[in-house]
Amino acid sequence: MQKLISKLPHTGTNIFTIMSGLAIEHNAINLGQGFPDYSMDQHLVEWVNKAMKENYNQYVPMAGYTPLLNTLVKKIKNLYQQEYNPQKNITITPGGTYAIYTALTAILHSGDEVIVFQPCYDSYIPNIIINGAKPVFIDMDYPDFTINWEKVKQSITNKTKAIIINSPHNPTGAILTKSDLLKLQEITANTKIIIISDEVYEHITFDGEEHESVLKYPDLANRSFACFSFGKVFNATGWKLGYAVAPEWLMNEFKKVHQYNAFSCNAPMQVAIHNYLQNPESYNTLSSIQQQKRDYFTSLIQSSKFKLLPTKGSFFICADYSSISNEDDISFTQRLVKDNKIATIPLSVFYENKTDNKIIRFCFAKTENTLKQAAEKILNI
Ligand SMILES: Cc1ncc(COP(=O)(O)O)c(C=O)c1O
């Protein structure tokens, strides 16, 4: 049989698939993969049904359903005070991951370098490599997962094409502050560096913290792709729908890639989301819902042997298990699924060099009942 030369020779099955598979096999509670186990808002489901019945079932324009684009422009203006043109600056995509991939594909040439902060969401590295570019890794400072901007400055070369940021952050729950964004703006001023900003958890920040979007900072916004996900916002991760926002000079190239890949996205869902977004409560209440879950979960497991790390946004909280075991984190999480019937994610998989600080990630975007059952198992570890 002919052997194909892989474009991604070092890429295997990702940990989320493996852990979710093990959770099913061992009948374990799944606090691994980042998806809610409760139903999404039925009003939104009804909007989709209505759109289908009203025959919004054919292709919408490439950039997206025009009323939805207009609604997003208004939302961005309200939240981030930036004026955008619905046709020129926004494209609806099949998910946030696709938006990031398309942005990277639109800008990268062979030999380019992309600065990536570790730990990082697992799609970034293969997305860079498949485009013939090179990831340049910078570790976030442990244990508070902040970025040392001096290190960033030193890592920039004349090949640096892009920097990927992610706030609120998966897997750590860290957020970038105003001071971080200003530093990034200052470091990249007068360079040709493009920012890819993964903001899929934009509406999930805790303790009164505000989400700092690149779109708030005009100098950054003028050379950034901001990538969003309706799946994460509306508890509908299976919908795989999101969008990218960028200045025209970047969005033009993005659309060239998108045009011959997805071309356009699910029509009835776009119509439904447009209607649903008319009520800002659809996204303004998400932080408090997830914060309650975080607080409920942490109060239940406070007396466990895990040391919980702070989380300021996202669906996730990390925990140090060094007082329980000195196994590596992959072996530890595999044992937890089998022996304790609880699935989590080891943090080392989010590092290229598999840095193991004996940390695991819990997803708390679950029902109270799931969190309670999980806590009972965690307290026995
Ligand atoms: C940081 C981050 N970016 C992007 C995504 C993917 O979003 P989507 O499902 O819309 O592709 C996820 C999903 O887990 C994520 O955690």
**How do the domains of the chain map onto residue ranges?**
15-40+284-379, 58-280
- Which atom of ligand 1 is least distant from the CA of 232? 10
367 CB neighbour count, 10 Å cutoff: 13
pTM: 0.97
In the chain, beta strands by DSSP E: 29-30, 90-93, 113-118, 134-139, 160-166, 194-198, 224-229, 242-245, 307-308, 316-320, 342-343, 345-346, 359-363
Q: What is the mean pLDDT of residues 204-232?
A: 97
CATH of domain 58-280: 3.40.640.10
pLDDT value of residue 271: 98
Distance of CA 200 from the midpoint of ligand 1 (Å):
6
Taking only the tens place, the pLDDT of each residue in 160-208 is 999 999 999 999 999 999 999 999 999 999 999 999 999 999 999 999 9
Mean pLDDT for the chain overall: 96
* Minimum CA distance residue for ligand 1 atom 7: 96
Q: Residue 17: is its pLDDT beyond 90? A: no
45 pLDDT more than 90: yes
Asked if the peptide bond before residue 61 counts as cis, ω within 30 degrees of 0, the response is no
Q: pLDDT at position 237, please?
A: 93
pLDDT in the model for residue 59: 97
pLDDT (0 to 100) of residue 380: 94
Interval between CA 356 and ligand 1 midpoint (Å): 23
Q: How confident is the model at residue 348, as a pLDDT?
A: 96
Q: How far is the CA of 314 from the centre of ligand 1 (A)?
A: 11
The pLDDT, as a whole number, for residue 18 is 86
- Phi, psi angle pair for 73, to nearest 5°: -60, -45
67 has pLDDT over 90: yes
Alpha helical stretches, state H, 262-322: 267-276, 281-284, 286-301
User: Which CATH number, 3.40.50.1390, 3.40.630.30, 3.90.1150.10, 3.30.420.40, labels domain 15-40+284-379?
Assistant: 3.90.1150.10
Residue 200 tokens read as 């899929």
Closest CA to 318 of 347, 277, 341: 347
DSSP per-residue string spanning 231-249: HHHTT-GGG--EEEE--HH
How would residue 340 be classed by pLDDT, with cut points 50, 70 and 90? very high
Q: Is 163 helix (H, G, I), strand (E, B) or coil?
A: strand
Rounded to whole angstroms, the Cα distance separating 363 from 37 reads 10
DSSP characters over 89-128: HEEEESSHHHHHHHHHHHH--TT-EEEEEES--TTHHHHH
pLDDT over threshold 90, residue 13: no
The pLDDT-based confidence of 20 (bands split at 50, 70, 90) is confident
Residue 12 is predicted with a pLDDT of 80
Distance 317 CA to ligand 1 centre (A): 16
Per-residue pLDDT at 10 exceeds 90? no
Query: Of the residues 19, 196, 200, which should be mutated to test ligand 1's pocket, given the most ligand atoms within 8 Å of the CB?
Result: 200
45 contacts: CB under 8 Å, gap ≥ 6:
none
pLDDT at 93 (0 to 100) = 98
Query: Does the beta carbon of 224 sit less than 6 angstroms from any atom of ligand 1?
Result: no
Report pLDDT digits (tens) over 229-241: 999 889 999 999 9
User: Does ligand 1 lie within 6 Å of residue 119's CB atom?
Assistant: no
